[in-house]
Amino acid sequence: MATEFDFGKDTAMKRRDFNKSILMLGLGAQVGLVKESKAATLNQSTNGYLEPAQELPVRKFDVAVAGAGTAGVVAALAAARNGAKTILIERKGYTGGTVTEGGTALHSFYNLWKAFPGVKKTQVVRGIAQDIIDRLLKVGGTSGHAEMSKGYDYDSVCTAIDTELYKLVTMEMLDEAGVFIAVNTLLTGAISDGSRLRGAIIESRSGREAIYAKSFIDCSAYGDLAAFAGADYKVPNDYSCCNSIGMANVDLDGYVAYLKSNGGANQVAHGIRSGENDRIVRFNGGLGRDFRKEARKIGMSSMITTVHDNYLMFVKCNFKVPGSVLNRDDMAKAELEVRKRQARAVELFRKYVPGCEKAFMARTSPTLNIRRGRLITCDYDISHEDVIQGRHFDDDIMAYGFHDNAPRLQIKDGGTYGIPYRALVVAGIDNLYACGMMITSDHRAHMSTRNTVCCMGQGQAAGTAAALCAKKNCTSRELPYADLRKNLEKDNVYFEA
Q: Which residues bind ligand FAD (CB under 6 A)?
A: 66-72, 89-92, 97-99, 102-107, 186-187, 219-222, 224, 242, 244, 316, 369-371, 436-437, 450-452, 455
Helix (H, G, I), strand (E, B) or coil at 201: strand
Cβ of residue 155: shortest distance to ligand FAD, in angstroms?
A: 9
Give me the DSSP letters along 335-377: HHHHHHHHHHHHHHHHHHSTT-TT-EEEE--SS-B-S-S-EE-
- Say how far apart CA 397 and CA 460 lie, in whole Å: 9
Cβ of residue 47: shortest distance to ligand FAD, in angstroms?
A: 28
Residue 215 or 243: the one with the smaller Cβ distance to ligand FAD is 243
Cβ of residue 440: shortest distance to ligand FAD, in angstroms?
A: 11
23-58 in b/e form (b: 16+ CB < 10 A) is eeeeebeeeebbeebeeeebeeeeeeeeeeeeeeee
Residue 143 or 244: the one with the smaller Cβ distance to ligand FAD is 244
- Hey, which bits of 257-411 come out as E strands? 265-273, 276-285, 300-305, 311-319, 360-363, 375-376, 396-400
Cβ of residue 125: shortest distance to ligand FAD, in angstroms?
A: 11
Residue 82 or 448: the one with the smaller Cβ distance to ligand FAD is 448
| DSSP code at position 139 | T
- Say how far apart CA 106 and CA 141 lie, in whole Å: 13
Residue number with the smallest Cβ distance to ligand FAD: 69
Cβ of residue 17: shortest distance to ligand FAD, in angstroms?
A: 33
Cβ of residue 480: shortest distance to ligand FAD, in angstroms?
A: 27
- Hey, which bits of 138-195 come out as E strands? 146-150, 157-158, 180-182, 186-193
Cβ of residue 219: shortest distance to ligand FAD, in angstroms?
A: 5
Residue 97 or 418: the one with the smaller Cβ distance to ligand FAD is 97
Residue 98 or 476: the one with the smaller Cβ distance to ligand FAD is 98
Residue 227 or 469: the one with the smaller Cβ distance to ligand FAD is 227
Cβ of residue 241: shortest distance to ligand FAD, in angstroms?
A: 8
Residue 63 or 71: the one with the smaller Cβ distance to ligand FAD is 71
Residue 452 or 487: the one with the smaller Cβ distance to ligand FAD is 452
CB-based contact 102:314 (threshold 8 Å)? yes
Those residues with Cβ within 8 angstroms of residue 289's Cβ, 6 or more apart along the chain or in another chain: none
Element (H, E) at 113: none
CB-based contact 92:184 (threshold 8 Å)? yes
CB-based contact 335:368 (threshold 8 Å)? yes
